[in-house]
Amino acid sequence: MADQSTKENNKETAAEGAQHHGDQGISRRRLLGTAGATGLALGAAGGATGYAVGASDGDSGSSGSSLALTSVGADMAMFHGKHQPGITEGLQASGHLVAFDLAAGAGRTEAAALLRRWSDTARRLMAGEAAAHDDTDVARDAGPSSLTVTFGFGYGFFARTGLEKQRPVALDPLPEFSSDHLDKARSNGDLWVQIGANDALVAFHALRAVQKDAGSAARVRWQMNGFNRSPGATGRPMTARNLMGQIDGTRNPKPSEADFDQRIFVPASGEPSWMANGSYAVVRRIRMLLDDWEQLSVKQQEDVVGRRKANGAPLSGGTETTAMDLEKVDANGDLVVPINAHARITRPDENGGAAILRRPFSFHDGIGADGTPDAGLLFVCWQADPLRGFVPVQRKLDRGDALSKFIRHESSGLFAVPGGAGEGEYVGQWLLEG
Ligand SMILES: C=CC1=C(C)c2cc3[nH]c(cc4nc(cc5[nH]c(cc1n2)c(C)c5CCC(=O)O)C(CCC(=O)O)=C4C)c(C)c3C=C
Ligand SMILES: [Fe+2]
């Protein structure tokens, strides 16, 4: 998925940037149009610089122009907009998911102040600026690097702030699935922040700023760190691979599709009204049982998914984007795409139209006590309504698709992610001040 869509979305981002940032945005867009993700330097034509460049860097002189950023550093996503950032942008190389619980005694007033601080920090950092207070210098010299910071509310938030009447029905707890191995301490939370960037220091910088902003209003409940391929690592833009080696993201809904918004975002007229243009994020930490998976032959692995490992093409033939022929049989009359193949079972047309936008990060948290890698997928999926997205698909998978015995769902969260903040607004203002 960090692929075609990454490139297209980054172009869109740069184009939007051009509207808001004058010449700098225009030269950025020009660069992306020609250099793409190859990491060519902007050069003297001019471009964005890291927030501290020129202020104190002796090598750069007083202007700092000799340290123009490459396209990876200069790419910028917009904080203000109809939707929050971090949903439709392409996969980023580095990510942090962090959930907070409101502190004892913190209620609606403290929560509103926190969201105001967080929004200001997100806006600044996404523009490549320093935090308003006590900046750590970790991202000094770097550009925005496609940083996105996204905020969501969990089920518990509403009782803590006296806003139960505003709690969306769609935020009702997910059903229990028979294959769940959930760690409650690493699940849910009152507030959720997703941070992604194409530079690990930029992402970490944002994480620390968000954590410091929380102050005494909220404390971290859990935090998870993930990664994807770096932009420019492949010779051409490609759909991402996961840690099982599969091409993963091929059949994601595309923003260019007519029903994309309807599937992924709450309509402007939707309920509750503060969720207009928002979305629901389901977050699952899914451990991959890699020692078992890697025992399989490539042919067996391909039968598990129903697609070729090398290029993601359906087993029924063609290329990655060829439609899967679900009826095709081999010389023995057996289905070419096995009946329990993951890519067959999860299709919208096999699940009453249920569709999700998958935007995951891989994770690797070292080696477990049993000697196996603690690695897998921070599965983040977006939808207008979890009961018409994640839930029916996971119910089907829970009955046992071919992939199920190679993965384990270890934690879970469901968060209401409001629409984007307008200029001068903060995320969640319509809820907290409505
Ligand atoms: C409940 C939803 C899903 C979970 C959980 C899930 C876990 C999971 N998936 C892979 C690997 C692949 N998934 C692929 C396709 C695919 N998966 C889901 C849903 C869940 N996956 C959907 C809706 C789809 C698309 C179906 C379609 O429209 O055709 C694929 C195939 C390539 C692709 O289309 O992306 C792979 C590979 C892993 C490894 C995993 C848990 C760790
Ligand atoms: Fe999947």
Cα gap 67→70, rounded to integer Å:
9
Q: Which residues of the chain have pLDDT under 50?
A: 1-47, 52-66
Assess whether 135 carries a catalytic annotation. no
Structural domain contains residue 133: no
What's the 184 CA to ligand 1 centre distance in angstroms?
24
d(Cα 85, Cα 88) in Å, to the nearest integer?
A: 7
* 110 in contact with ligand 1, CB cutoff 6 A: no
> What is the CA(347)–ligand 1 centre distance, in A?
9
Residue with the smallest CA separation from ligand 1 atom 22 is 346
Question: Domain for residue 235, yes or no?
Answer: no
- Asked if residue 426 lies in contact with residue 116, where contact means CB atoms within 8 angstroms, the answer is yes
- Looking from the CA of 253 toward its CB, the CA atoms found within 13 Å total 26
Q: Does residue 342 have its Cβ closer than 6 Å to ligand 1?
A: yes
Q: What's the Cα-to-Cα distance from 246 to each of 204, 240, 241, 354, rounded to whole Å?
A: 28, 8, 5, 23
149 Cα to the center of ligand 1, angstroms: 25
The residue range of the domain holding 10 is: 1-38
Residues facing 378 on adjacent strands? 285, 361
d(CA 377, CA 342): 15
Assembly ipTM: 0.99
For residue 371, being part of any structural domain is answered with: yes
pLDDT for residue 34: 24
Q: Which residues contact 255 (CB under 8 A, 6 or more apart)?
A: 5, 9, 88
* pLDDT value at residue 67: 59
User: Looking at residue 54, what is its pLDDT?
Assistant: 40
What angle is formed at CA 378 by the lines to CA 182 and CA 391, rounded to 5 degrees?
Answer: 60
Classify residue 387: in a domain, yes or no: yes
Question: Cα–Cα–Cα angle for 339, 247, 315, nearest 5°?
Answer: 35
Cα–Cα separations (whole angstroms), residue 381 to 78, 190, 249, 302, 338: 21, 19, 11, 23, 25
For the CA of 380, the nearest ligand: 1
Tell me how far CA of residue 339 lies from CA of 300, 303, 407, in angstroms. 14, 10, 19
d(CA 197, CA 216): 27
| Residue 377 is assigned to a structural domain of this protein | yes
Query: Could you identify the atom of ligand 1 that is nearest to the CA of residue 393?
Result: 1
Q: State if residue 377 touches ligand 1 by the CB under 6 angstroms criterion.
A: yes
Q: Ligand 1 pocket, 248 CB below 6 A?
A: yes
The pLDDT assigned to 434 comes to 86
Q: Domain total for the chain?
A: 2
Q: Are 374 and 368 in contact (CB under 8 A)?
A: yes
Question: Does 106 contact ligand 1 (Cβ within 6 A)?
Answer: no
Give the C-alpha separation, 329 to 3, whole Å. 31
Taking the CA of 397 as reference, the closest ligand is 1
Ligand 2 centre to CA of 346 (Å) is: 7
Q: Beta-strand (E) ranges in 180-267? A: 191-197, 218-227
Q: Which of 239, 248, 285, 399 to mutate to test the pocket of ligand 1 (most atoms within 8 A of CB)?
A: 248
- Between the CA of 343 and the centroid of ligand 1 the distance, in Å, is 6
Out of 3, 101, 248, 401, pick the active-site residue. Answer: 248
- pLDDT the model gives residue 49: 56
Q: Identify whether 1 is part of a domain.
A: yes
Per-residue tokens: 112: 């509103």
pLDDT at 193 (0 to 100): 99
Looking at residue 417, its pLDDT comes to 99
Beta bridge partners of 223: 98
The answer to whether residue 327 is domain-embedded is yes
Return d(Cα 6, Cα 72) in angstroms, integer: 12
- Give DSSP secondary structure letters for 55-93: TS-GGGTTT-GGGPPBHHHH----SSSSS-SSSSSPP-S
- For residue 354, the ligand 1 atom closest to its alpha carbon is 23
Phi, psi dihedral angles at 337 (to 5 degrees): -100, 105
Q: What is the largest CA-CA distance in the chain?
A: 74
* Residue 370 covered by a domain: yes
Test site for ligand 1: of 344, 346, 349, most ligand atoms within 8 A of the Cβ: 346
Which pLDDT does position 400 carry in this prediction? 87
Identify the nearest ligand to the CA of 283 by its number.
Answer: 1
Q: Which atom of ligand 1 is nearest to the CA of 244?
A: 39
